[in-house]
Chain A
């Protein structure tokens, strides 16, 4: 089959690789009809996430048609259309039973689980196409994918609904949703969202849906800020304004009740700490550039909540621990428990209450995926989401 493979920093190619097969009883094979490039894929593209190997197939946002099902799965049938969560979760461990699917104890193979146990204290869950820290599973920017525990992960979508209406159930929609859930929003509250990429925009939408009175969005790309405004958010362009001062003014001196860091590592900024991060990261003194998160912690109101859906992988410094403690902040974070949120979000989409298609700016055949990465990286203002079509582009 054809698949998008990683070969080094800013070097991704479409190669011919072996077709995946049913290996374990609960596996399924999916013929992929739509797959997206995620903002977090850019961390792989920039090689700021470690443990990638040359030849790895990338991609963790995908959906398609079931073409084979292992004997251990009695729920899925060949021919069904499914969206696949990026988190690979077994459904049978302590964590899955507590609906903490992104903490699954079993999906990271025994050999690769060593790395995250050493780095983070406990072995992390498996995920598609996201380095060998998360298991070395092949991703979904390909014609086919093997999906483990396919009786737990993939959600069946009805015939007749277009791919693009449901594709983002795989990651960014539940990620934006969980980011807002983690803010514990009460009526009449103000939520500030750093980063108006796909997750930030969905977090804005979710915050309103969960009862936020106002949402203030922060970015420096005019087009992305315009999208945020179209969803009802007020905006701050951090290239033009001092973010903390603007937030103080906009909140009557109190500060936002909850803050979402939808930026993650490789945070941009034009301030001294950001420049220092760049220098330190370049000589590997730190791995994660966290200018955005520092600003979030300083800007949040006393006793407020901080939610971090943005991806971090390593260590940072100049972390404002004093502000966090003295102000009594609550911080919630984590990879998304996709399987937990998918069914309810699918219902909201089918009921017409959530639309995610506005985000898609570009549709490309799989063969043009390397160009998709390049444009997503270099033209972030207008390239908001790239969807790849391994089976060719079908116009509806």
Chain B
């Protein structure tokens, strides 16, 4: 199910990913009916990422390009790593990469292009994860390995919802959707 970098097609700007052969790679595009600059600006503030990436608990900006990510892991645990922005083209593209010491080496690229049909902005996200070999990372890695495509798909849907409607759709019991 997971795509490997060696046989992945249609991944835009994969050259900006710090991915290596064997990494898990996921990519997906979505059209969002908002201006490119607005979407870029929201994403560029990495502290916004937990608003739509639900496995990320908190991102703390350290300076203009460095941040620390606190990510949910199975069994109520969490894992933290430093991350750095490696490419920043305002209004067009952001690439980032985990730094030395990350228990799961990972990188990502998000690209914003005007929809040719004037339907807003085509947002393409490509993420890469390194399946850790050590025992420490294995439990945590399950989270990423299980369904990285599903995670990316849902994160992008939430980003679209937030940008187009100002909120993330929910029917979570008990208060958003009461149930017996």
Contacts and interface: CB of A to CB of B under 8 A. Distances in A.
Interface of A: 1, 3, 5, 7, 13, 15-21, 23-26, 53-57, 72, 90-94, 97, 105-114, 117, 123, 126, 135-138, 142, 146, 148-149
B180 A5 contact: yes
Interface in B146-180: 150, 153-155, 157-158, 160-161, 164-180
A13 B180 CA distance: 10
Given A20-B177, A146-B177, A138 B171 contact: yes
A107 B157 CA distance: 10
B115 to A, nearest CB: 9
Contacts, number: 117
A104 to B, nearest CB: 9
A108 B177 CA distance: 13
Given A109-B170, A110-B157, A23 B165 contact: no
Interface residues of B, number: 29
B33 interface: yes
Contacts of B179: 5, 17, 53, 55-57, 138
A223 B38 CA distance: 59
A23 B174 CA distance: 11
A94 B169 contact: no
Nearest to B162: A106
B119 interface: yes
B178 A92 contact: no
Looking at A19, A55, A106, A146, the one whose CB has the most chain B CB atoms below 10 A away is A106
Given A55-B179, A93-B33, A113 B171 contact: no
Contact of A113 (B31, B157, B166): B157
18 contacts: A7-B180, A20-B177, A23-B172, A25-B167, A26-B167, A53-B179, A56-B179, A72-B167, A92-B33, A92-B165, A94-B31, A94-B33, A106-B160, A109-B168, A114-B153, A138-B171, A142-B178, A146-B175
Contacts of A13: 180
Given A18-B174, A57-B179, A138-B177, 20 more contacts: A7-B180, A20-B177, A23-B175, A24-B176, A25-B166, A54-B180, A72-B167, A90-B169, A93-B160, A94-B120, A109-B168, A109-B171, A110-B154, A110-B158, A123-B157, A126-B171, A136-B177, A138-B171, A138-B179, A146-B176
A21 B174 CA distance: 9
A111 B154 contact: yes
A90 B161 contact: yes
